Each structure stands twice: as C-alpha cells, then as structure tokens.
C-alpha cells in the first residue's frame, strides 16, 4: 500500500514507512505530523546515520491530467501515486472571456482604451519578435509546467528522489497525420504503430464506434473506406470490433448506419474533433524536459508506446498513475498492491478581479480586498466539530469564508449525524456536499490553502 513520507528533525528525507509504523511513531510521540498532502511525518529527534534507498520519480504528462508515481527501482514497489488535474483549458476560457469583455467596452460609447500591444501588432503593424519570446508559452500551457514543477519540488523535499523519468512523446503528431511516413524510427522494433493506436483508443473511449462493445479486441478502421477514396488521415480513422469491421466492409458509413442516425451523427462529429489535447502535450514536452533537467537529477525519457508496452507486458490496467509508473526503460516488475492514488486538482489562488460582471460585461458585485477572516481564507482545509445547534457533527473539507464568521464547508469526509435509534446512540453516516452556516469558532486548520484540492 502507499507509504507515509518521513523526514528527520533536520528535514532530511528518509525512507517512506508503512502506515502502521507511522501510527506507532505518533502513538509513542516520537514524530509529529509535518504535512497532510502528501501525508508526511517529522521525527522529533535527529538520527544522522539512517541509511536511505534512492527512489525514482516518474511523470506521465497529459493535457488534462498528469500521472505521478514514485518507484523503488530495486524492489519495484510503488511508494506514492497521484493524478494531477490541470486547469489549462479553464485559464484559456477565462482569458477569452476577459478579452471579449474588454473589446465590447471599446465598442461602446465609453472612454477609449487602447488595445493590448499583441492585438495592435496583429492588425498589420509588424514588429520583430524578441529572442526571449520565441520560446514563450501561452498561460494555459505554462500552468501545466508550473503545476508539475511545484509537485516535483514538493516531493523532492519529503522523499529521497535520485532520478526522474518522463514520457517525452505521448502523441507523435507527424505519425498521427501521416501514418505512412518513412523512417527507421517508425519501422523498427515491437512498438511500431503504438502511437496512432493509443491516440485512437483515448479518442474513441476504448469502444467499438459502431456497436459500442468494450473489453474486446479492437481494429483500426477507416470511416470512409480507402476503396472509395478514403484517406489515412487521423480524422478518417476509428476503432471497431472484428464483427462490425467485416460487416461494414466497403459500405458507405451513411448506408451502414442508416438505421442508427444518432450514432452516425456522433461518429461524424467526433471524427472532426481537434487535436487540442495532443497539441498541448507536444507543445509543452520539451519545456517540461528542460525544467526537469534544471533540477540537476538524471532524467530518463521514454515514448508513449514504450509506456503502453511496459503496462501491457505486466498486465496492468489503464490509469494515469499506472502509466506514470511504467514510463521508461528502467521500469522494473511493479508492485502496486494496495496503492491508492492521491487525486490533486489545480484550482489556482483565486482572482484579483475586484468588480464582478455579468455575461454582458456590466458590474453586478464588488469583492472586498480582505481575504483572511478570523484566521481563515477561502480554500483552506479545515475540521469543524459542531457541538450544538441543528448541524451537530464533524465536518472536514474546503472552507468558504465570510466576514460575518459564518462559513460554508465543502465536506468530503465522514460526518457524525446524530440520529436517535433504539439504543439512543448517534449513528455514523456519510454526508458529502456543501454544508452552510458553520461558525468559525468550531473550525480548526488541517491544511492551508495552496492552490490545490485533494481527494482519494
């Protein structure tokens, strides 16, 4: 199962320990809780001669989620696993909304506001691109790099990480768009064809596009058959089971699915989907590699095909954190028994916008500059033990603060709900969701706001 991180009194990372050992250290008051996410203990006494086994940090970068795993190369044990959910597309939508609001204000009868420089140059006013901006990344892409960088630094502070593995190429855009490309890198070895197939598996949800069958062998199929002029473009490829592939043959897809118009429309619409996810991964892959090399640790890279090859060879299921553990040639025989990944969601640190607007850009609310109320701020993870009133119980979750001292808690933990039964004792029940009207007097900090939310 997942281990508990341990550091000594001088904050030097030690070997992760079993949860039973962690409970024993806390019970004997030899250690204290240093951090909740990831859960880390700190020893109260320094022991300089403790030997430490080196660990390897493995990263499987993705457009929406990134898999993270810490593996012991000598034993194959997965010490820690996590799935980091990015907010890149959310940033893009926010920037687009802000741009539209500003443009609409310029078109109304209000004071003139000069457009930003990048829009002014876009209108035909050419200017040479500065050298430092040739490697510039859009904010939605840079946030992915920053999220991974932040967690690499966090994990290095609590675990003896001596090497890093990164999946450098998840989707080869050249191979996706031109499956018949020539070159020894695509013709040799057992990984031939894996990149295109992996993309199609994710795009079509690992199901037959025609009948929806899952957990069966799937074949790459041309939507518009090649016999009637269909191309090998990725937009013309889908997945089907052998039965549907044989039944369709060289028929036109409109004739083949004329009795299922809803499925026909879905396939034609999904076939035209953009390669935004694959493009985002490919755009950031070398920037991520550069960031990892800047840590000074040896960095190993591997392709997406090699990751899948390692995973299939060991009979593991498809998960982001399992893919991360399978990255690179150094992958040993993995031991993932009992591992429960930490689910991390990037939420950001709030907004600096002082005036809230409606969808038309008109102000409808004002935001106070003061963010900390009674020692708490929105986003902190707290524990509230309510002893009287209508909401008696125990709540653990993210807090939404107000100046009045009446907080809301987005609860994700077990709550004690007092319900009288035959014995008159309270019954333990599970309650999720938002609980309103919790006084700040009952709240106690568990984890300070750091821009992320956590779950298991």
Q: What percent of the chain has pLDDT over 90?
A: 38
What's the burial of 45, exposed, middle or buried (CB within 10 Å: 0-12/13-18/19+)? exposed
pLDDT given for residue 150 in this prediction: 94
Confidence of residue 190 (pLDDT cuts 50, 70, 90): very low
Most confidently modeled of 33-47, 148-162, 167-181? 148-162
Confidence of residue 214 (pLDDT cuts 50, 70, 90): confident
What phi and psi values does residue 55 have, to the nearest 5 degrees? -120, 160
- Residue 86 DSSP code: P
pLDDT at 121 exceeding the cut of 80 = no
- Inter-residue contact 315 to 175 (CB < 8 Å): no
pLDDT given for residue 114 in this prediction: 66
Write out pLDDT tens, residues 248-270.
988 888 888 888 888 888 888 77
pLDDT given for residue 186 in this prediction: 44
Taking residues 323-337, report their average pLDDT: 92
CA distance 407 to 399: 7
CA distance 253 to 221: 11
pLDDT at 368 exceeding the cut of 70 = yes
pLDDT given for residue 232 in this prediction: 75
CA distance 61 to 68: 8
Tokens representing residue 183 in the block? 């070159």
Taking residues 42-58, report their average pLDDT: 89
pLDDT given for residue 278 in this prediction: 74
How many helices (DSSP H) and strands (DSSP E) are in the chain?
13, 23
Write out pLDDT tens, residues 125-135.
555 555 555 56
CA torsion 80→169→334→239, rounded to 10°? 110
pLDDT given for residue 13 in this prediction: 94
pLDDT given for residue 279 in this prediction: 77
Taking residues 309-330, report their average pLDDT: 92
The total of other beta-carbon atoms located within 10 Å of residue 39's CB is 17
pLDDT at 308 exceeding the cut of 60 = yes
Write out pLDDT tens, residues 67-88.
999 999 999 999 999 999 999 8
pLDDT given for residue 192 in this prediction: 47
In total, the chain counts a number of residues equal to 456
CA distance 258 to 228: 18
Give the CA distances from residue 404 to residues 379, 438, 439, in Å, rounded to whole numbers and listed in that order. Answer: 17, 11, 9
pLDDT given for residue 226 in this prediction: 79
pLDDT given for residue 413 in this prediction: 52
What's the burial of 270, exposed, middle or buried (CB within 10 Å: 0-12/13-18/19+)? middle
3-class DSSP assignment, residue 36: coil
What phi and psi values does residue 372 have, to the nearest 5 degrees? -100, 120
Write out pLDDT tens, residues 407-455.
999 876 544 444 443 444 444 444 567 888 899 999 999 889 988 988 8
Q: Which residue has the higher pLDDT, 89 or 124?
A: 89
pLDDT given for residue 128 in this prediction: 56
Tokens representing residue 8 in the block? 């000594």
pLDDT at 229 exceeding the cut of 90 = no
Q: Where are the beta strands (DSSP E) in 20-172?
A: 31-35, 40-43, 55-60, 65-71, 78-85, 161-169
Taking residues 380-396, report their average pLDDT: 88
CA distance 215 to 196: 19
Confidence of residue 171 (pLDDT cuts 50, 70, 90): low
Radius of gyration of the chain (CA): 27
pLDDT given for residue 74 in this prediction: 92
Domain spanning 179-271, CATH class: mainly alpha
Taking residues 87-95, report their average pLDDT: 85
pLDDT given for residue 132 in this prediction: 54
- Strands 161-169 and 299-303 turn out to be parallel
Taking residues 43-52, report their average pLDDT: 84
- Inter-residue contact 395 to 384 (CB < 8 Å): yes
Q: Is domain 53-115+133-171+281-367 in CATH 3.30.420.140, yes or no?
A: yes
């Amino acid at each position: 199962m997942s281990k508990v991180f341990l550091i000594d009194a001088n904050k030097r990372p030690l070997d992760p320990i079993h949860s039973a050992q962690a409970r024993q250290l806390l019970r004997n008051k030899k250690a204290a809780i240093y951090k909740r996410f990831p859960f880390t203990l700190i020893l109260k006494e320094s022991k300089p001669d403790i030997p430490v086994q080196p660990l390897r940090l493995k990263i499987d970068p993705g457009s929406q989620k990134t898999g993270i795993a810490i593996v012991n190369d000598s034993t194959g044990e997965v010490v820690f696993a996590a799935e980091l959910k990015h907010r890149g597309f959310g940033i893009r939508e926010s920037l687009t909304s802000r741009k539209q609001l500003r443009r609409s204000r310029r078109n109304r009868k209000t004071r003139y506001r000069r457009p930003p420089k990048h829009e002014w140059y876009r209108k035909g006013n050419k200017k040479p691109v500065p050298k430092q901006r040739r490697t510039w990344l859009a904010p939605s892409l840079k946030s992915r790099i920053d999220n991974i960088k932040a967690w690499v630094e966090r994990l290095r502070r609590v675990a003896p990480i001596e090497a890093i593995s990164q999946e450098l190429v998840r989707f080869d855009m050249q191979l996706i768009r031109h499956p018949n490309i020539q070159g020894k890198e695509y013709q040799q070895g057992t990984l031939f064809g894996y990149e295109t197939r992996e993309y199609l598996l994710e795009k079509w949800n690992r199901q037959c596009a025609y009948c929806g069958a899952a957990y069966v062998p799937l074949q790459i199929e041309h939507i518009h058959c090649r016999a009637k002029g269909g191309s090998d473009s990725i937009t013309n490829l889908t997945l089907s089971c052998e039965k549907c592939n044989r039944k369709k043959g060289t028929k036109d897809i409109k004739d083949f699915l004329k009795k299922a118009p809803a499925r026909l429309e879905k396939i034609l619409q999904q076939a035209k989907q953009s390669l935004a996810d694959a493009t985002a991964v490919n755009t950031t892959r070398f920037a991520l590699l550069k960031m990892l090399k800047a840590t000074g640790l040896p960095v190993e890279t591997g392709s997406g095909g090699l990751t899948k090859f390692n995973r299939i060879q060991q009979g593991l299921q498809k998960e982001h954190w399992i893919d991360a553990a399978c990255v690179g040639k150094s992958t040993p025989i993995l031991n993932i028994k009992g591992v429960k990944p930490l689910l991390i969601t990037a939420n950001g640190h709030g907004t600096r916008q002082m005036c809230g607007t409606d969808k038309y850009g008109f102000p409808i609310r004002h935001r106070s500059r003061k963010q900390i109320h009674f020692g708490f701020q929105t986003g902190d993870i707290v524990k509230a033990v309510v002893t009287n009133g209508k909401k008696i119980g125990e709540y653990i979750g993210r807090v939404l603060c107000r100046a009045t001292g009446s907080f809301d808690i987005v609860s994700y933990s077990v709550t004690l709900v007092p319900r009288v039964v035959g014995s008159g004792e309270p019954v333990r029940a599970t309650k999720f969701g938002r609980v309103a009207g919790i006084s700040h007097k009952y709240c106690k900090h568990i984890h300070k706001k750091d821009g992320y939310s956590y779950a298991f």
